């Protein structure tokens, strides 16, 4: 028996290795493993491969109207190269690929010279990757540089390090991809009041958003707990920060805006007023109704509105996005009615509590509009006084259920973030819920559907900081990103058709240094046992 044992052992090893190899191949040979799924994709057979040349380059075609004076395209291409190399050492001398199978570079045609990044910018692109023996250049065409950046992201997901040749390979060529987003607003909210987030943490969040083709970072800058952002016109405001080091200068904010813009991401700032405002009074106590009743902000004090106007003016110099979020949620007006001087003011104005709340919101809306902004307000403002909001208002729906139909029937635009599906804080909300949340629920009229500008997942900061924000955000945000990017008819109703592709994207995020959590548990879950990234 001892004489035959080695043979049995060898056979067992061969079986195990073969099975592992087959399983490995299955990870990369699924029909399409791009996330989010493009509008249209065609590809070749599994055995058709090309390899990225060690000196892979990009060329701006002479037909292009964009010359990349600011270097946005060059920076995007360099990030693309970093992503596809995946930290491995390419070695073209190790095992040279077959003749005619090298891809020398990518040609780009960008139709518009305009580099302004705003809501509604054209983000479409067409990408083609040739088969071996054909034209040795991929082709990327886009209306704007921001569409081209999305094209780079898709291209990077086609690439994989080949351990046999020690080169970057692209399987299933030729590829032909036609793509554009379903919604123009695809947001992620972060909260720097409940816990301070360091600049590098915010940059990492921006990078990861670009991987999933999200395009708006909603920055909830301040809240009751802290006021970390410098307001040059009113420098005492950031006395409300947690500490001297947990603050942002306006130059820091401009740096974040620029960093995001070069990745195709707008930054929408939020000042949440008149409630959620205790921290404002640390530096300016006269903003409080009284020292014992500190929010909402004192509506009877002219200085309150002068200070808000100055804050918006300072914001306008840095936050160039079309929209400014003015909050307006969870306003408990009891401080107004219980404070003698405010109660007296209300009586003189002939206002009740609801009318005072309306007056405050509309007054600040007018200020923001005078500075060139369109306004976003949380859903409570619509629920309280509906059509009296400015027509330039976008209602941010966050209460349970998708209530967009009521907003659009009133002729207002809206963003969907319902708490039961697109809030990241409740770790028990699984990725499947994020994926199945449909922003256009209950809206049948095609014209009214156009008033839903998109959706946003919200990462409130009570239980996250730099140590756990990434695994709280990912991969559940990716589930929402596909809902917001991919045409409705392309979204599978059977989530078994989604999970393998999402598992691969989660592993890709890990590979790129993003601490995305496994899919098999709750938000911020950890791996349950030893095993491949692709089955966790």
- Active-site residue numbers? 330
Closest CA to 477 of 187, 133, 230, 185: 187
209 token code pair: 């958003």
| CB half-sphere exposure, 505, CA atoms < 13 A | 27
Closest CA to 151 of 173, 129, 179, 170: 179
* Beta strands in 101-260, from DSSP E residues, in sequence order: 102-110, 125-129, 137-142, 159-162, 167-171, 175-179, 185-191, 216-220
Distance CA 110, CA 103 (A): 21
Asked whether 173 and 43 are in contact (CB, 8 A), the reply is yes
Asked whether 39 and 87 are in contact (CB, 8 A), the reply is no
In the three-class reduction of DSSP (H, G, I as helix; E, B as strand; rest coil), residue 106 is classed as strand
Q: Report H helices in 460-528.
A: 469-473, 476-485, 499-511
338 token code pair: 């219980």
Ramachandran quadrant class, 134 (left: phi over 0; alpha: psi -120 to 50; beta: rest): beta
Residue with tokens 């392309």: 490
Asked whether 44 and 131 are in contact (CB, 8 A), the reply is yes
Neighbours of 447 (CB within 10 A): 8
Distance CA 363, CA 447 (A): 30
Name 353's Cβ contacts closer than 8 Å, sequence gap at least 6.
333, 336, 337, 346
Asked whether 440 and 403 are in contact (CB, 8 A), the reply is no
For the chain, how are helix, strand and coil distributed in percent, rounded to 5? 40, 20, 45
Asked whether 302 and 358 are in contact (CB, 8 A), the reply is no
Bond prior to 291 in cis (omega within 30° of 0)? no
């Amino acid at each position: 028996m001892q004489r035959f044992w080695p043979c049995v052992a060898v056979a067992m090893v061969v079986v195990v290795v073969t099975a592992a190899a087959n399983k490995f191949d299955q990870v990369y040979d699924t029909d399409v493993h791009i996330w989010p799924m493009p509008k249209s994709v065609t590809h070749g057979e599994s055995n058709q491969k090309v390899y990225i040349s060690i000196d892979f380059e990009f060329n701006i075609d002479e037909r292009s109207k964009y010359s990349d004076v600011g270097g946005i395209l060059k920076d995007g291409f360099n990030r693309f190269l970093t992503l596809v190399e995946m930290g491995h050492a390419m070695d073209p001398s190790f095992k040279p690929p077959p003749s005619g199978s090298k891809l020398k570079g990518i040609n780009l045609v960008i139709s518009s010279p305009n580099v302004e990044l705003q809501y509604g910018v054209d983000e479409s692109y067409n990408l083609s990757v040739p088969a071996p023996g054909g034209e040795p250049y991929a082709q990327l065409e886009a209306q704007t540089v921001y569409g081209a950046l999305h094209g780079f992201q898709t291209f990077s997901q086609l690439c994989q390090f080949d351990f046999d040749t020690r080169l970057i390979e692209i399987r299933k060529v030729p590829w032909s991809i036609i793509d554009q987003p379903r919604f123009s607003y695809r947001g992620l909210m972060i909260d720097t009041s409940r816990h301070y987030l360091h600049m590098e943490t915010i940059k990492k969040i921006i990078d990861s958003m670009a991987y999933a083709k999200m395009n708006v970072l909603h920055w909830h800058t301040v809240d009751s707990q802290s006021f970390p952002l410098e307001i040059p016109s009113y420098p005492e405001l950031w006395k409300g920060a947690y500490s001297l080091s947990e603050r942002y200068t306006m130059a820091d904010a401009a740096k974040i805006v620029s960093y995001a813009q070069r990745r195709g991401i707008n930054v929408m700032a939020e000042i949440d007023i008149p409630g959620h405002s205790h921290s404002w009074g640390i530096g300016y106590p006269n903003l409080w109704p009284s020292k014992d009743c500190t929010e909402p902000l004192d509506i009877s004090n002219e200085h309150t509105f002068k200070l808000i106007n100055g804050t918006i003016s300072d914001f306008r110099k840095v936050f160039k996005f079309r929209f400014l979020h003015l909050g307006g949620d969870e306003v408990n007006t009891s401080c107004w009615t219980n404070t003698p001087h405010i109660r007296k003011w209300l009586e003189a104005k002939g206002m009740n509590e609801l009318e005072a709340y309306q007056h405050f919101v509309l007054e600040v809306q007018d200020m923001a509009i005078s500075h060139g902004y369109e306004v976003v307000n949380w859903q409570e403002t619509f629920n309280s006084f509906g059509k009296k909001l400015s027509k330039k208002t976008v209602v941010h729906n966050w209460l349970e259920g998708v209530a967009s139909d009521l907003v659009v029937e009133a002729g207002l635009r809206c963003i969907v973030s319902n708490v039961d599906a697109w809030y990241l804080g409740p770790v028990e909300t699984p990725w499947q819920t994020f994926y199945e949340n449909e922003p256009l629920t209950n809206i049948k009229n095609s014209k009214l559907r156009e008033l839903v500008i998109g959706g946003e997942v919200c990462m409130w900061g009570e239980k996250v900081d730099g140590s756990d924000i990434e695994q709280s955000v990912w991969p559940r945000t990716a589930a929402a990103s596909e809902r917001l990017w991919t045409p409705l008819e392309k979204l599978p109703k059977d989530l078994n058709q989604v999970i393998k592709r999402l598992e691969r994207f989660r592993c890709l995020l890990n590979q790129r240094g993003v601490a995305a959590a496994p899919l098999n548990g709750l938000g911020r879950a950890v791996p349950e046992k030893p095993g491949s990234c692709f089955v966790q």
